[in-house]
Amino acid sequence: MSTLPPVNNFPPEIEQLREQIRHHNYRYYALDDPQVTDADYDRLMQRLHQLEAQYPASVTPDSPTQRVGATPLSAFKTVVHELPMLSLDNAFSDEDLLAFNQRIQDRLKTKDKIEYACEVKLDGIAVSLLYRDGLLVRGATRGDGTNGEDITQNVRTIKSIPLRMAGSGYPAVLEVRGEIYMPKAGFNALNEKARAAGEKLFVNPRNAAAGSLRQLDSRITASRPLEMCAYTVGWVDGGELPATHSDVLKALRGWGFLTNRETDTAPDIQAAIAFYHRIGERRDALAYDIDGIVFKVNSRLLQDKLGFISRAPRWAIAYKFAAQEESTVLLDVEFQVGRTGAVTPVARLQPVFVGGVTVSNATLHNRDEINRLGLKIGDTVIIRRAGDVIPQIVQVVETRRPADARDILFPAHCPICNSPVETIADEAVARCSGGLVCAAQRKEAIKHFASRKAMNVEGLGDKLVEQLVDLGLVKKLADLYALTREQLAAMERMGEKSADNILAALQNTKKTTLAKFIYALGIREVGESTARNFANYFGSFEALAGADQETLQRVPDVGPVVAHFVAEFFAQESNRLAVAALRDAGVHWDNIDVASPEELPLNGLTYVLTGTLETLSRDDAKAHLLALGAKVAGSVSAKTDYVVAGPGAGSKLAKAEELGLKVMDEAGLIELLREHGRQV
């Protein structure tokens, strides 16, 4: 009997962890069926990092910890593709697709139905990944199809790309081709962050993916939410692949690659057309951008018979969807005034058909946005309308700027009430200072007050509110309750019957709830759920109106910003009078029984949260503790009563132990919260 000599003296746990992590990657990306939570996975990675730090010589390039390159490159090397990376012919109608099928049948001299593999056309960047003996050795862009750029360092950072293939039976040399893209959610989050930091935004997820791959420093690429779906193979040596394209995709999945889930085989071209329309209806709901459907003759034997023409295969075609970006001209910019006085620039555009609808307006958000875009009136701009997202101007085509392009001037005075427009330092928004003097703000405040989730006054629609304000019949909220049948009946598109209905609705909705009333006041940043939290915490309107900012922040989900707006609202006499007038008019609600702060169970105790919490988020844990009357501090001191420590707790835990403070884990915290009736 022979035993294999030990390969090295490293703890076997290292290779075991790598195997486990690879297995979980495979479950997560290829199968979309994870067996462990993200936290479990993170713990395995953490442990592996720890052991590799202890045994640096054990580190192999295919270890899951080795995704990010240590040193930035000075330039990308050129890669010559062994087999050119082709592009696809396009189809724009069902007829185009039928003609494509006809060409194939003609060329194959058959009347038999052709089976097609149907896939979404992902809107990203084409890449080639070269594996030798299952190890990723090179990643490259498509480039001009013949020469690409070596982006190995960067593709290695993308978690859905296996550094080492899973399973077995793969060819010794396998070039996997596919698309790297940025899912919509990741793109939006990335742009939100950039917007908040005043940085340049990415125009669309495709540009964001391209820009992320073009980084010489792979640490930047690693921080970007990229994914890669494999959709075909290129160079293959030392092995065989299945006979159909759909089975090749299955094999790729088995080897650990992410393949798109929206795939099917169609027995004939009619079924392929149906697939196109079916996915088209769901396009907006998908987590990533697609710009069409790709149909491929499923039999690889037939693919070979059909061959290529110039730079595209005869056996595949891309049937495109309506473009989500189009160019048009910015005709003018107008300024709208919202409920809180925010002056928002709105672009008036030459109407353009984009993303399936005709667009003639787009919001420009604020002055920063206009500066960022470098926009002038008369410019040709690119409009993007993806799904039901409001249309955006994403780019100025500077080369097409006319000589008479005009700067966009922000008004110094409100276009509605002529009050000065104020811009607060650090705030991107310009605001009309007119408050409820401003008819625009009054209209919006009244619309909000009457809206469904607020007082729910049925029949009091936007148009009617605008007339009532324009005629001076409603100057403040309480004036609604003094309206007469005659006044209402005299409005446009109204009669006595509708007037009676509205009067009845106003009467019936006078009895409301504290939460709805708070929400109806339209205090900045106080949405429906925050209003509900205020109501439940304070129990009465007086308690809320009298609370200082510190007390306000004890309410779940309320931070310094909301607390500031609420305190500011009640500090203004006009607002207090407006509330008093509403109550005089008969608006009422029942108070809610709540304990006074002194009676709260954790009153007087200070908690510090440290380390990772797995069940609760930090914010939730804090909100629960505050709601029970505790204080939550950021650092440990002798004044701390309890430290809640999750995994990875560092110096704060050490300090707590040094001070001999009481320490509990997350389970202990959850038990405590439940004991006091919190639902966690």
Residues that bind ligand IVH (CB under 6 A): 86-88, 119, 121-122, 126, 179, 231-232, 294, 313, 316, 318
Q: How many angstroms separate the Cα of 211 from the Cα of each of 2, 72, 171, 602? A: 54, 16, 32, 50
Kindly state the smallest distance separating residue 434's Cβ from ligand IVH, in Å.
52
The residue at minimum Cβ distance from ligand IVH is 126
CB atoms < 10 A from the CB of 279, how many? 21
Closer to ligand IVH by CB, 228 or 468: give it.
228
For 432, counting Cβ atoms within 10 Å of its Cβ (0-12 exposed, 13-18 middle, 19+ buried), the class is buried
Amino acid occupying residue 418: N
Kindly state the smallest distance separating residue 105's Cβ from ligand IVH, in Å.
20
Kindly state the smallest distance separating residue 317's Cβ from ligand IVH, in Å.
10
Closer to ligand IVH by CB, 232 or 392: give it.
232
Closer to ligand IVH by CB, 89 or 641: give it.
89
Spatial separation of the C-alpha atoms in residues 506 and 161, rounded to whole Å: 61
Kindly state the smallest distance separating residue 34's Cβ from ligand IVH, in Å.
24
CB atoms < 10 A from the CB of 203, how many? 16
Closer to ligand IVH by CB, 135 or 210: give it.
210
Q: Which residues contact 415 (CB under 8 A, 6 or more apart)?
A: 334, 335, 337, 343
Beta carbons of 224 and 205 less than 8 angstroms apart: no
Closer to ligand IVH by CB, 288 or 534: give it.
288
Cα 264 to chain centroid distance, Å, stands at: 28
Kindly state the smallest distance separating residue 308's Cβ from ligand IVH, in Å.
8
Instruction: Return the HEC string of 257-288.
Output: CCCCCCCEEECCHHHHHHHHHHHHHHHHHCCC
Closer to ligand IVH by CB, 265 or 344: give it.
265
Closer to ligand IVH by CB, 66 or 87: give it.
87
Categorise residue 133: left if φ over 0, alpha if ψ from -120 to 50, beta otherwise.
Answer: left
Among candidate residues 121, 376, 516, 631, the one labeled active-site is 121
Spatial separation of the C-alpha atoms in residues 200 and 220, rounded to whole Å: 16
For 655, counting Cβ atoms within 10 Å of its Cβ (0-12 exposed, 13-18 middle, 19+ buried), the class is middle
Beta carbons of 118 and 293 less than 8 angstroms apart: yes
Q: Which residues contact 231 (CB under 8 A, 6 or more apart)?
A: 119, 122, 177, 178, 179, 249, 259, 260, 294
Token couple for 509? 């909705």
Token couple for 253? 């999945």
Kindly state the smallest distance separating residue 553's Cβ from ligand IVH, in Å.
49
Q: Which residues contact 114 (CB under 8 A, 6 or more apart)?
A: 101, 104, 105, 108, 268, 269, 297, 302
Q: Which residues contact 92 (CB under 8 A, 6 or more apart)?
A: 319, 320
Spatial separation of the C-alpha atoms in residues 315 and 562, rounded to whole Å: 59
Q: What angle do CA 342, 345, 348 make, to 5 degrees?
A: 145
Closer to ligand IVH by CB, 187 or 534: give it.
187
Kindly state the smallest distance separating residue 263's Cβ from ligand IVH, in Å.
8
Kindly state the smallest distance separating residue 68's Cβ from ligand IVH, in Å.
25
Spatial separation of the C-alpha atoms in residues 172 and 34, rounded to whole Å: 28
Closer to ligand IVH by CB, 87 or 456: give it.
87
At 488 the three-state DSSP class reads helix
Token couple for 73? 């490159």
511 is catalytic: no
Closer to ligand IVH by CB, 86 or 673: give it.
86
Kindly state the smallest distance separating residue 161's Cβ from ligand IVH, in Å.
15
Closer to ligand IVH by CB, 126 or 602: give it.
126
Closer to ligand IVH by CB, 119 or 666: give it.
119
Kindly state the smallest distance separating residue 273's Cβ from ligand IVH, in Å.
17
Beta carbons of 65 and 59 less than 8 angstroms apart: yes
- Cα dihedral 592, 597, 602, 606, rounded to 10, equals 130
Spatial separation of the C-alpha atoms in residues 678 and 129, rounded to whole Å: 51
Cα 355 to chain centroid distance, Å, stands at: 19
Categorise residue 355: left if φ over 0, alpha if ψ from -120 to 50, beta otherwise.
Answer: left
Beta carbons of 113 and 174 less than 8 angstroms apart: no
Q: How many angstroms separate the Cα of 316 from the Cα of each of 100, 112, 122, 298? A: 9, 17, 15, 9
Spatial separation of the C-alpha atoms in residues 343 and 408, rounded to whole Å: 14
Kindly state the smallest distance separating residue 293's Cβ from ligand IVH, in Å.
9
Kindly state the smallest distance separating residue 35's Cβ from ligand IVH, in Å.
28
Catalytic residues: 121
